Structure formats: C-alpha cells, structure tokens
Copies of this chain bind each other. A is one copy, B any other.
C-alpha cells in the first residue's frame, strides 16, 4: 500500500533524522532555552525579514491554534473563520474549550475575503443588541487552506488592511505553509506574512519534521508572557531542543522550501493526469492536496494499492477524495499512482 491519505504518514526528512541522531547525546537546557532553538529562531527571523519577531516552537497544530487564539481574545470575543477552517470543524471544540466562539463565515474555496470580515464586523456593531452576541475579536485564515487553495498577495493585503482598520488581529494558520509558498502561481513570501499579519505559524509536522510548529509573533502585545501560555496549554516540550534541531535543519539552507516544492510538483503531476483523464475536482488546488472527483468503481480498484481520504459524495456514481503528497512521496510512487489511475479508468 502507498499512503496518500494525508501528509503525515512517515517520519521526518532524512537530514532531520540524521541531525537528531548526531546531537542525541548533547546536554542542553529544557523547554526551548537551548542553542539549537536560538539558531532556529534566528534563521526564521531572517527568512521572514522580521528581526524583532518573537519565535516559539510548539508540538502540534491544535495546541498552537488554541494557544494563540486564547492569548489574543478577551473572554467575550470570538474568532472569525471560514466555516471550512480547521478550528471550526476539526479540533473537537478545542477553541470553545478555551471559552471562545468560532464565528464562521461561508466559504466555497476555503478562503474568506476582506469584504466578508468587514460585513461581519459591521453587522455586529450595527446591531442594537450587540452586547448580547460574541464580539468579533480576531481573524483566522489558513495558508494553504483546508481546500488546498492559497491566498494571493492582493487578497492577503486586503485582509490585512481591513483587519488593521478594524483593530482585529490577523492570524494565519500555516500548518501547510510550505505548500502554499511553493504553490503554482503563489506571490506571497514569508516576509509578506510577517508584514501583513499579527501572528502566523510555519508548520513542521506536515512539511518534513517529526512534529513541531514555529510560531512567529509580530504583534507586540501578543509577545508578552507567551511562554506562560504555551506551558498552560501543554505545548511546551520538555526536550525543546528537538524542535530547535528540526527547524534549524529546515531553515538553515532552504530544506523547507525544497521539501515543499518537491511535494507540490508531484501533486501537480497528479492533477494534470486527472485533468487529462477528463475528471473534475472538488477544489481547484495548486498545492500538495488534490481533490479529484472520481467514479466509485475506479476508487474501489485504486484502493487495493493506495490509500486516500474520502471527502464527500458528489453523486451516486462519484466521490470526491483527497490525495496528499509530502516530503516522503517518491516519483516512483506518483508514477505508479497515475499509472494505476489510468489503468483503472
């Protein structure tokens, strides 16, 4: 079986494993106060052209989302998010468990617009009984989104402008940020993210690390006491060096982008093959997630050798599914998948 169901089926990129092995016996302070973390932070600040950013390493995405959101909001505030946002549907109510409502906005493609944010804000404040409703307190977007789509620089700039005008901090969930940076047609850089958002994170778990997310905080108010918040939400790894070593390896000479580009390029091969075969897609994705709509029979045949995720039934004969590529996907595996797709047609 070759697994395409998600982008975290394997361990870490071999260079990361090698580095973890080499440094295994070194003795360092715990909780991220070590030289590996320090160097990783410097690499990330440099990559983001944000010399004053605070950089923290957490273990996983749900932790990171709850820690940041609960840190930014006052108790009566909620977070605006696409209804497709990871925090809205796939974190077992973790945001609500910190006391906050997720205020969802409709979305077809996984993205929300500056105009939607402004409308939600206006609707709230124009309502005479607004004190009886959770107040929009910040904006959450994912890059790339849960649908595999990517915000353009123009879209992100518009969101940033409306957020700043309305004093709503903007948070970008970058669990799959590498694949957005490497997406076909992408025009957003890490430096843009640091310039346009209040806080974002650079996903490691889904982009070649064993685990780990690097939070980049630009907003001064959020920097304060952030380590307390990480500790309280269970995200402060005792052997923090492990995260430092991984992000140092990913960022010291471009490995993060190499991994991302490779995975995206393999995904695009799949997309093009599916298109050529005449099938459509649930979402139009330029990243490592592809959502083809395929005949059920074909999927049954395919499932004998490959795993994928079932997304939604589109009609009686067809199902939309998801294939992901990652650092570990090989050209051979993709060739075989495409060959099997063609053969099963």
Contact = CB atoms under 8 A, between A and B. Distances in A.
The listed residue with most B CB atoms (<10 A of its CB), out of A27, A62, A135, A205, is: A27
A23 B11 contact: yes
Contacts of A133: 89-90, 92-93
- Prevailing SS type, chain A contact patch: loop
Interface of A: 1-3, 5-6, 8-12, 14, 17, 20-21, 23-31, 59-63, 66, 70-71, 74-76, 78, 89-94, 96-102, 128-129, 131-135, 205-206, 210-211, 225, 227-229, 231-239, 241-242, 310, 328
Nearest to A30: B8
B232 A92 contact: yes
A11 B121 CA distance: 35
B62 A234 contact: yes
15 contacts: A1-B27, A8-B238, A9-B29, A10-B24, A10-B25, A11-B239, A59-B211, A74-B225, A75-B232, A97-B232, A135-B228, A205-B239, A211-B242, A233-B234, A234-B234
Chain copies in the assembled complex: 4
Contacts of A227: 131
Contacts of A235: 234
Contacts of A101: 93, 96, 102
Contacts of A229: 75-76, 92
A265 B232 CA distance: 34
A132 B235 CA distance: 12
B96 A100 contact: yes
A236 B8 CA distance: 13
Q: Which 6 A-B residue pairings sit nearest by Cβ, starting from the closest? A: A63-B234, A93-B134, A11-B24, A76-B228, A3-B27, A92-B232
A251 to B, nearest CB: 20
Given A60-B234, A131-B236, 10 more contacts: A6-B30, A10-B26, A63-B234, A66-B234, A75-B232, A90-B132, A92-B228, A128-B310, A131-B228, A205-B238
